[in-house]
Structure 1
Amino acid sequence: MSTFQLKQRYWVLPLFCSVVLFTGCQPKDASQQSAEAKTTNTEAKAEQVIPAIQAKVVPVKLAKPEACEAEGCTQYDIQTVETNLKWIDQYFMDRIKKTDPIAFSDQPNQKVRLDDDAQPSLNQSSTYVRYVGQNDNFATFAMQSYSYSAGAAHGMYHQEFVNFDLKQKKRLALQDILVKGTDAQVLDALYDNNLNWLQEHNIEKAKLQLSDNFYYGANGLVFVYPLYELASYAEGMSELTLPYYSLKKFVRPEYLPSLPQYPEH
């Protein structure tokens, strides 16, 4: 190989490498950028999809139909929800087991202590969970409980509404949905919107408190109060409604249902 041919060969090699490096660093064309952007947007939207709740009530299998302690025996009836969201199912099962651990115990029943000629008493306890409804990213369930102690004049019942943020996968307390620092204003609005009923039951504003037991009703946020707190046993659990149009300033936007734009008068 001549000296000229050798120089020519070494001159072509760096030029070739430069072309390769330059080509590799070229910016992506518009079509490639567009395709990648669409993929990113699709993935982001997929993460934001809120599942539609599918739920049915199912009986909970217990180790024994009646559980006995030294004080007496209790017959349990427990039913919960089975949904397409396992974390919700687990939430209720954890709550139920924590409330009635003896119902799930596999230990033998204790012997009931009885006075002479006394008959063993049988108490009753039931817990039912049901699906109420969904509004975009939040869903509501009801947890009903009833207990009766043998010999009592009547049983006691309670209904607790449980609201979930489906995006955050957590239960919502009242303080989670209200704008910070608006509690007093919400209480004033609640009292004013239920003034007639509250006055009929001799409930002064100073005696009324916001209840953390609430649900989204057809016309507003419904605050639920336990037996005897605002009314007699015969009247049942009391419910006070605060219309949605009164809540716009007090509820965080993500937890306020989509509402019509009513004309201002």
Structure 2
Amino acid sequence: MTMNPLKLSKIIPALSIVTVIVFTGCQPKQDPQNNSATDATNKVDIPLIQAQVVAVKLPKQQVCLEDGCTNYDLQTVKTNQQWIDDYFINRMKKAEPNAFADLSDQQVKVPEGEPSLSESSTYVRFVGQNYNLATFAIHSYAYPAGAAHGMYHQEFVNFDLATKKHINVSELIKDGVEQELRDELYVANQNWLDEHNIKKDQLQVSDNYYYGVNGIVFVYPLYELASYAEGMSELNLPYYAAKEFIKAEYLPSLPKVPN
């Protein structure tokens, strides 16, 4: 039996379509969540931070008010990320409003004779970066006129470069694990805490931290855990323990080691 060439030409394209449908149906289905995660990773462009310390331009370096004068020394960072630069300048403006205020046209009654002179300084520096995690430090010093000594503080500021967000401790740790984290932090530093007569129920998780070589380091203000002479105290939470309490996206990339 001889088939009509016209009919054959109509059948061949139809067979091709069926073949495509069959093979397409045999392809393994992809997880939509995995696709979303992959797409998100590919779309995120993590910048390499470049930073230098620069002086902040102020109307006056010395500001005099009715209770005396204050010398200001403010230095910040200039980076390749404008949102980071803005963050630190806004922090300084909020902490030291008098330093940024133009008081030249205001009638300020300066004390007669030799006015008392206070000092206030703030320095910002770039500490380091681990992929999407960037750490900066704010060092501040204040000496009120007539005080026995000045007070200093160092705050570490950690950013998620992927989301352009400041990672505070409440966002760093998983939900509902703060008590267990406190207990683990106490165990990891028990010798030092015992030497300073600090019991477990007296210890709190600090809101000041940075990424250390061997773990996440929680930093405490002067006098909170030790004397002024000992400076700011630091408690280390090893990375092998931190994985139980810290959100995965806020842990630095670590080598895999046997249990």
Fold-level similarity (TM above 0.5): yes
How far does residue 46 in structure 1 lie from its aligned partner after superposition? 6.0
Match of 1:33 in 2: none
Q: What is the rounded CA distance, in whole Å, between the counterparts of 1:86 and 1:77 in structure 2?
A: 22
* Structure 1 portions without partners, runs of 5+: 1-42
Listed as ranges, the matches of 1:159-198 within 5 Å are: 159-198=154-193
Match of 2:88 in 1: 92
Q: Is the 8 A contact 2:159 2:166 kept in 1?
A: yes
Match of 2:44 in 1: 48
* Structure 2 portions without partners, runs of 5+: 1-38
Amino acid at match of 1:64: K
Q: What is the rounded CA distance, in whole Å, between the counterparts of 1:74 and 1:46 in structure 2?
A: 50
**SS across alignment from 1:223:** strand
Moved more, 195-204 or 44-53: 44-53
Identity of aligned residues (%): 61
TM-score, with structure 2 as normaliser: 0.82
Q: Which residue of the other structure, out of 111, 119, 123, is the alignment partner of 1:113? A: 111
Moved more, 249-258 or 158-167: 249-258
Listed as ranges, the matches of 1:19-168 within 5 Å are: 47-108=43-104, 110-114=108-112, 119-168=114-163
Q: What is the rounded CA distance, in whole Å, between the counterparts of 2:123 and 2:226 in structure 1?
A: 24
| 1:189-223 alpha-carbon deviations (Å, 9 max, x no partner) | 00000001001001011110000100000110000
Q: What is the rounded CA distance, in whole Å, between the counterparts of 2:194 and 2:86 in structure 1?
A: 42
Match of 2:26 in 1: none
Q: What is the rounded CA distance, in whole Å, between the counterparts of 1:172 and 1:232 in structure 2?
A: 29
TM-score, with structure 1 as normaliser: 0.80
Task: Rate the CA distance shift 1:44–1:192 in 2: closer, same or farther, 3 A.
Answer: closer
How far does residue 45 in structure 1 lie from its aligned partner after superposition? 6.2
Moved more, 252-261 or 203-212: 252-261
**SS across alignment from 1:107:** coil
Q: Which residue of the other structure, out of 234, 241, 259, is the alignment partner of 2:229? A: 234
Q: What is the rounded CA distance, in whole Å, between the counterparts of 2:235 and 2:182 in structure 1?
A: 11
Amino acid at match of 1:214: Y
Point out the structure with max Rg over C-alpha. 1
How far does residue 49 in structure 1 lie from its aligned partner after superposition? 1.8
How far does residue 44 in structure 1 lie from its aligned partner after superposition? 6.5
Match of 1:11 in 2: none
| 1:84-110 alpha-carbon deviations (Å, 9 max, x no partner) | 000000000000011111111112272
